[in-house]
């Protein structure tokens, strides 16, 4: 049981009035003090009984974008034999509106709807609910925790970005392949000797006649689109506000590439490294990482594993800011990717257009783009890859 600010004020006024009444020997002041104390005592009697109800919360979607909202359903039941007076229910995390719950008859159940709003990016624990019963004058309240908790993921806003074109093939039909070549397409990689389990329909009769052994065609997918994004999370590169814009830009790009079917990979200098096969399901791990991304120190802008075998090919996008001294380090991995884009976010630097990324001397074929915020960066990106 706790005094509200109003209740604390009434109690303080009661003490002051009583003191003044004693000093001035004024009965009315003492009477007013007594009335104030009586109101507080009455409030104690009203709020002494805590709500004895069962509550259940259901969230329609636990992943939303910053600034968006998701619907929540609150089911309140009275399992006891006595009527339960009304009370208020609020989320302890501060994401939802306060719900006014009416009086409940024995065995009755009521359903209430409210919204959970994603005010800022991150992963949040919603609940447990705080049930509060207050007196009619609002002098005291008795909070009681009830219900379970839920996780709410607030993604950065996803803007309409274009997916880049497919990268160069990872191998030639007559040359070597990478370790992660994808099997099952109709493109011929090699002709090899038959082994038990191979498709008979893939037998290569001319090679069989020439060698005297059963030979089969080996098929792979030579040109599966790939998209790799490196988000610079070092604190000296971007301010806190600029970093939020950079995360929004990164999320928009990986979402566009993954939903277009590209195999995607997301890295940061601090050690995050997530790869997916793309698609509507594959984009979720990438957005989960960006949902919780924070600025933290890293040894260098280019992680050691960026150009490792098995994760090369396709398009490499670097989202950064004040990184002029580190950009030449991209030359070491440039040959592993068909295209390289360096995107700068923020109103700093002396780039070609006065914003963001400086020159990229020594990095062959790199293309640069600078913008003050994510909205403008996505707009310029769409023009760049169109």
Query: pLDDT by residue (tens digit) across 337-362?
Result: 888 999 988 875 434 444 445 556 66
Most confident region among 188-197, 294-303, 368-377 by mean pLDDT: 368-377
- Determine the Cα–Cα distance for residues 285 and 153; give it in Å rounded to an integer: 12
- Determine the Cα–Cα distance for residues 323 and 262; give it in Å rounded to an integer: 27
Q: What is the pLDDT of residue 175?
A: 40
Q: What is the pLDDT of residue 289?
A: 95
Q: 115-164 pLDDT, tens per residue? A: 988 889 999 988 888 888 888 888 888 888 888 888 999 999 999 999 98
- Determine the Cα–Cα distance for residues 264 and 180; give it in Å rounded to an integer: 14
- Determine the Cα–Cα distance for residues 373 and 379; give it in Å rounded to an integer: 10
Q: Is 255 left (phi over 0), alpha (psi -120 to 50) or beta?
A: alpha
- Determine the Cα–Cα distance for residues 127 and 62; give it in Å rounded to an integer: 13
The structure tokens 């698609």 sit at: 279
Q: Taking a C-beta distance cutoff of 8 angstroms, is the pair 153, 291 a contact? A: yes
- Mean model confidence pLDDT for the chain: 83
Map residue 329 onto helix, strand or coil: helix
The structure tokens 């070092």 sit at: 234
Which residues make Cβ contacts (< 8 Å) with residue 36, sequence separation at least 6?
10, 11, 13, 14, 17
- Determine the Cα–Cα distance for residues 37 and 54; give it in Å rounded to an integer: 34
Which residues make Cβ contacts (< 8 Å) with residue 271, sequence separation at least 6?
298, 303
Helices (H) and strands (E) in the chain, counts: 7, 19
Map residue 94 onto helix, strand or coil: coil
Question: Which stretches of the chain are DSSP H helices?
Answer: 5-24, 27-47, 205-211, 240-259, 279-291, 331-334, 374-385
Q: 81-128 pLDDT, tens per residue? A: 989 888 888 887 666 678 899 999 999 999 999 998 888 999 998 888
Q: 19-61 pLDDT, tens per residue? A: 998 888 888 888 998 999 998 888 888 887 778 899 999 999 9
Q: Taking a C-beta distance cutoff of 8 angstroms, is the pair 232, 199 a contact? A: no
- Label residue 369 exposed, middle or buried (CB < 10 Å: 0-12, 13-18, 19+): buried
Q: Which residues pair with 96 in a beta bridge?
A: 116
Query: How distant is the alpha carbon of residue 113 from its chain centre?
Result: 24
Residue 366 has pLDDT above 50, yes or no: yes
DSSP-assigned states of every residue in 331-357: HHHHTTSSEEEEEEESS-S--TTSSS-
Residue 253 has pLDDT above 60, yes or no: yes
Query: Average pLDDT for residues 261-280, to the nearest whole number?
Result: 89
Q: What is the pLDDT of residue 184?
A: 44
Query: Average pLDDT for residues 278-301, to the nearest whole number?
Result: 88
């Amino acid at each position: 049981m706790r005094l509200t600010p109003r209740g604390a004020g009434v109690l303080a006024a009661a003490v002051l009035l009583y003191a003044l009444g004693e000093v001035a020997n004024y009965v009315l002041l003492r009477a007013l003090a007594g009335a104030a104390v009586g109101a507080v005592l009455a409030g104690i009697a009203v709020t002494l009984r805590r709500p004895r109800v069962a509550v259940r919360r259901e969230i329609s979607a636990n992943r939303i974008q910053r600034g968006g909202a998701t619907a929540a359903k609150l089911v309140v039941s009275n399992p006891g034999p006595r009527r339960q007076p009304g009370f208020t229910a609020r989320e302890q995390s501060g994401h939802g509106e306060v719900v006014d719950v009416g009086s409940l008859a024995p065995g009755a159940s009521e359903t209430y709807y409210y919204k959970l709003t994603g005010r800022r990016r991150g992963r949040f624990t919603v609940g447990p609910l705080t049930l509060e019963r207050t007196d009619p004058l609002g002098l005291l309240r008795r909070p009681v925790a009830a219900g379970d908790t839920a996780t709410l993921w607030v993604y950065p806003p996803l803007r309409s970005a274009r997916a880049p074109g497919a990268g160069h093939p990872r191998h030639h039909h007559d040359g070597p392949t990478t370790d992660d070549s994808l099997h099952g397409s109709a493109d011929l990689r090699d002709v090899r000797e038959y082994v038990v389990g191979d498709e008979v329909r893939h037998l290569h009769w001319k090679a069989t006649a020439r060698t005297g052994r059963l030979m089969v065609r080996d098929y792979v997918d030579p040109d599966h689109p790939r998209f790799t994004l490196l988000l610079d999370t070092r604190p000296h590169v971007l301010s806190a506000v600029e970093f939020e814009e950079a995360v929004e830009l990164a999320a928009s790009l990986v979402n566009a590439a993954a939903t277009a079917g590209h195999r995607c990979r997301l890295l940061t200098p601090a050690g995050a490294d997530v790869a997916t096969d793309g698609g509507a399901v594959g984009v979720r791990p990438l957005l989960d990482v960006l949902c919780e991304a924070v600025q933290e120190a890293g040894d260098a802008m280019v992680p050691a594993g960026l150009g490792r075998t098995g994760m090369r090919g396709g398009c490499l996008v670097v989202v950064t800011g004040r990184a002029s001294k580190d950009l030449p380090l991209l030359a070491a991995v440039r040959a592993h990717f068909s295209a390289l884009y360096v995107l700068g976010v923020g109103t700093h630097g002396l780039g070609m257009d006065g914003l963001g990324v400086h020159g990229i001397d020594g990095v062959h074929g790199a293309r640069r783009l600078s913008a003050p915020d994510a909205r403008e960066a996505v707009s310029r990106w769409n023009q760049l890859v169109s």
